[in-house]
Amino acid sequence: MLEYQRFLSVHWIGGSEIIGLTVCGLSFIVLKLFFSVEAIEMSDMNKMVIEEFRENGGKVGGYFDNMTLLLLHTTGAKSGEPRVNPTAYIEDGDRLVIVASKAGAPTNPDWYYNLAANPEVSVEAGTEQFDALASVTEEPERTELYDKVASVYSGFDDYRRNTTRVIPVVTLTRR
């Protein structure tokens, strides 16, 4: 796997004609014959997704068309600066569940370290914005929730197979 600019992961599958791309932690396959792969800064991709999310009442099209995304507002663990990251989620009762998969990369995404240091976050889900408390789950709940997410978004099964780290699962509870 090659990683470009922290945003675009390229996986060569069965030769050079088909590649798998991982974007914002979600995977898809593209025929290389018809598309060129261009490295984009993660922050640029996030800006595009955030803009579309806000313009369309929380909906993002294309590959993300059938996914529920939220915008996670955190405070930088080192910088103290506000950060916003789009991520897929599922609901578990009154909590939202997000996964710090980073598409199966060997390290956690930056937003995970931000909320671990500063668990008071803000969430945009659809057209609603609310404050929440982020909590990193422990076993056996972590595995149970990860399995629920993977049953909705099958790419998360690939992510856990692609890494040796235990991928954190985080719950967001309204405050």
Cis upstream peptide for 109 (omega within 30°) = no
Encoding tokens for residue 41? 């800064």
Average pLDDT over residues 56-63: 87
Domain map (residue ranges) of the chain = 2-31, 43-174
Reported as a single tens digit per residue, the pLDDT across 10-33 is 443 333 334 445 555 554 444 444
Contacts of 91 (CB under 8 A, 6+ apart): 97
Most confident of 37-41, 101-105, 129-133: 129-133
> Among 23-27, 137-141, 164-168, where is mean pLDDT lowest?
23-27
CATH number of 43-174: 2.30.110.10
116: left (phi over 0), alpha (psi -120 to 50) or beta: alpha
Q: Are 121 and 73 spatial neighbours (Cβ–Cβ below 8 Å)?
A: yes
pLDDT at 74 over 90: yes
- The answer to whether residue 67 scores a pLDDT higher than 50 is yes
Residue 96 has pLDDT above 90, yes or no: yes
- Look at 35-39, 59-63, 92-96, 167-171 and tell me which has the smallest mean pLDDT: 35-39
